[in-house]
Structure 1
């Protein structure tokens, strides 16, 4: 156990030694006695095993106890040594104390002496162990102090320096030996040491650690961080030279301040309304924030870098009036071409030709694709990476501002173009925004005012449907609004809308627009009232033609059929010269009915058309007509027309029949395109049409032959007009008939 005490008893009297050992082990259970008869044996035992205390007699044969002490001290200088002797005198006691014995005890009668001896042994060992532990603690602390990389020193409660490492001594400007034992207060300068003194005093009084950063009072210009730890016997002080850190922090604060200032510039540049203001602000910021004395901002114009703003310290002739983008040995031109920032520490060594020979270094940064910012210095290495980064930050703000100005200019131009387009759209147009599901008018164009009769002031900011939707059409309007809000475009939907003159027909076209969460739209109204009136009129006309055709087909054909049947019966019973004329009259009536029915049918409006090859239809119509020996001359350059193919074929068949009937079976018929107008012509080489008859040739009943019904050309005109075309009979100055159809 750690508290056991091994005692070496050295006495030449074995009985005394045994008795002493017995009593010691009986009195204290901590003591174990090792008995030796001579000092020589005692030294051997001391060398061979752990001994905590020596108890020795004085008078022994080989040597006395004091000489034995001297031998022990040569080996163990601090081991407790008690002289326990029966030969006692003041002289021996004095000599023993002078020799350095731990204790001196004279042998007397009785057992009490052994109790006293045991007590002396325990006290001596306890003190020795405490001193050894203190020495070891000091050694460990010293080793710890020596391993400390910080500057370190320790002071006692009287402010005396008890330890200082080499680093601390060097920083303070003294040697270690010079400082040990010195009063630290006397080392402080008379001025400037108050803060350190107060910190140490606070640590002493409150027994709490103190940390502070301060300028060194021993090394002007240096900063130290001190950590003061109090203990019962004084203070331990660690300190570091933090000058570099403080300088870096100062640089960081300065850079942070510049960055904050540059962000303020970003806020200011938003208020600029022109490129010139932005360039001027860039140079102002470069001078005042980045501390660039000589700088300029150039814009790219027509292949040149043109200065837009320069610092006041820039010489008037120090910048080019215009630098070509392809210029050699020019840093700004190279920056614009490569779109890369550059930091050049020595312009001349890098092979550049600066505007002034005294310019030695530069930073050059592209302003997007519109220009270059450049700062120069008359010193080599006048800029570092931090300068470049801050300048790039400034240029980033400037670039964004220039882009904003450009965008706003383009936007204003686009708005102006749109406004002009809006105002000049020939159809009624309204712009609106949906508010709680209802379209509210934002603007209308002049055509809207003309079409509906309401001016801008009376309708803007009011619900559009309140003005335009006729009574009974509210649900239809709501469905249209829902489709527009959902982003669905409406193309050409026929609707009725209220105007100041009443309800009119319109084609509706919508353009939905989504702006953020706002639903907006544009609607164009094409007035088709006249067209719809014409269509309704034509529908009524077609209905009357159908009714007329029904009457002709039923009320005339039935009696005609009866007459024809009776004539057949009469002819079977009688042979009379009256019968053939009757038959011819009935046949003529049949032909007239067929032509009238055809005229009624072909007069209907054409509702569905498509792209038709005129060449192909001409060939088909010619094949459908009995042309006998007549010839067709067809121009292959005939166009494609938009028509009802079946009715166009009937039109051509009638013209071909008309040509053969009037020009003869060996006629030549020509079909070709018109030269100066859209359309085609049909001509024959017959006798032509009398000049007085050109105006009446298309009327019902017109015919120049005895057997004709006079409906052929009337049917042609009906088919032409049903397509929305025009037909005319043209005088050619030659013996021929020529009809021109304008499509």
Structure 2
């Protein structure tokens, strides 16, 4: 058979070896080749007969023959089925002296009572080329990389970056399941994920299907959020997955910080005092931005100093209670405040004018808060603030400045409103006293005479009473509404009309459509009635006793129109101004009150011409009670 002299019938079974795609040899216990299949011609260049009775070392590169003899003899002493030289790069020698990489598997067999070994030799030239390719990738990629068997999930290779990141030795990883690299309590989830990844050949895995994050787990149990970018290599007899892990810890921390800043912004925008704003700012810098040495100094014009108003516990401990007051010229913190520019000091040892009692700090961020003060972020380590720290701190400082501006503005408005209410109350009191006297005298006059001058006097005194009432309402409640409720529009129209017409009972209100009779709206009842009364009075004041007032509905609101003289387009932008009136007995406050009530509800009001040429007020954005 192929030049070999086999007389045992058992040897006939070796004929099936000729069908193998790999070179196969039968080697006796002395290392002599007893059989070679036809594939050796392709791989080694020998005819099978040429190898008859030759030592197997003939096929081993010269440099490795001595070692091979020792390994062969050791194997014969303890033969078993296994790959040859596990973990070692093997090479074979061709007839022409060239070498090529191989994988060899060994299987002992007994024939006629003698020990033989079947050696299967596979040319791995192509596989080695691919291995060289992925090893080049391993060495070139700066991120951690792991190569695993796609079928078993066993780790084949890894680069130094994964070793440095997770703390494993390379030999500890080889042969282990790739799930070793991930949290052990989720091994099954990672295994399923990787199997699905191979089926779909997905290039990037950023999270589990349910949206939860992916993690690597180090040898000491630390968990690191990652994204996985990978591909599949086909080595012919083996499929490998190459996975590149991107550590996204910094990005996740940045996202968490932004979310924390978003939450802090809501808190800052509802704070009611400078002290509360400053406390939130320091707490946010400490807990959200992980800057534990933080404080806020606000400018005190009386002392001409930056006074500490809020600081972190760790900062307070370093000063035995409270950071120092910074008077003008004390240290570099004034630079950021006076110049309204953030200042970064990577190493305070290189900066002049540093206070002697703060030299413990080696790097600082000074962030101005407009005219209010400055936020100071410190560290006992030089160059401790990176670009991300600076960017997030600036966002916080800008938000704190806006919050301080708002608090200041609200306090100013509160003071102004208090002063306005006090003024209005005083004026009202001072006016009502003589007005009451005048009304009393008028009643006496009525009992004594029927003079034609009495009616004009009554009208004038009524007008003064309305002016006083309007001024008080604008001062006390002009921009606010109370609780809103479901209001029957028709009922509100009728009651407001009765209040507005007084002794003009002969004037009729026209309801233009059925929706007016059935619609319920959502509003502050008292303020809405006040709005309607002033629109009705405006029509009566300008249209006279013969005026017709019509109310109808719009898609999202209502209109009030009359057939009076109308409002010229050029003055429509000013009719809502306080004090504006063209009627002789108008107060100048009615339409201003209308506008205030509309704005307080979040509605819109527009003026146009009615169908008869009069004035038409359209109010939109009104919410139905059912919504």
* TM superposition score normalised by structure 1: 0.39
Q: Decide which structure has the larger Cα Rg and report it.
A: 1
Which one scores higher on RCO, CA 8 angstroms, separation ≥ 6?
2
* TM superposition score normalised by structure 2: 0.45
